A and B are shown apart, each in its own frame.
Chain A
């Protein structure tokens, strides 16, 4: 059974129209991460939550935000998507931020029209 669930698997939005991607976990892990993976590239960390503490990577565009209303759910909000934001977005969880393995969902592929 999937332990990190991302919905939807495929999302299409229009240029400039806000979009929200969702992630849920059944592992009760403290940490939830969001990565962006563009075509033929490696995943790149955008930000993470350690419990309720939000941690943004230095080069994550302001266009990207996140919410974590409870332990199980985390959302990625893209305020005004541009064509360059078309990518696979991956959610991951972990018990801690430094040693324990990360568990990934299968991602949401975002297309921008």
Chain B
């Protein structure tokens, strides 16, 4: 499975944008990039996913490098409620992939300062 590398921790001020990086230099052409986050004392929560093009939803934006070897999750305006561990995960969606489980790495612990 292709691996991802994320910083262990990041800090942001409230109401400022946050850019969470993820490196995945061995990504294959059929790997989707998924982001989940886990707030304290809760289960993980799906945030966003994409393949090649940048993606936006109500929670965040996902910027994918042209060579797909890195991506950035963008929270446009951090709130205290965004303090969580953010996981960047690759999932193979090729027709023969069958079952592609979520394999969680260590993620990035985001702290938001009021």
Contacts and interface: CB of A to CB of B under 8 A. Distances in A.
B43 A55 contact: no
A101 interface: yes
B99 A42 contact: no
A103 interface: yes
Is the interface on chain A under 10, 10 to 19, 20 to 34, or 35 or more residues? 20 to 34
A42 B93 contact: no
B41 A106 contact: yes
B34 A101 contact: yes
Interface in B58-114: 87, 91-93, 97-107
B49 A101 contact: yes
Q: Is the interface of B mostly helix, strand, loop or mixed?
A: loop
Interface in A55-113: 55, 57, 90-92, 97-99, 101-107
Contacts of B87: 42
A53 B107 CA distance: 31
Contacts of B44: 43, 90, 92, 102, 104
B99 A98 contact: yes
A17 interface: no
A42 B104 contact: yes
A45 interface: yes
Given A98-B92, A98-B93, 9 more contacts: A42-B87, A45-B103, A55-B99, A90-B44, A91-B43, A98-B100, A99-B100, A101-B46, A103-B46
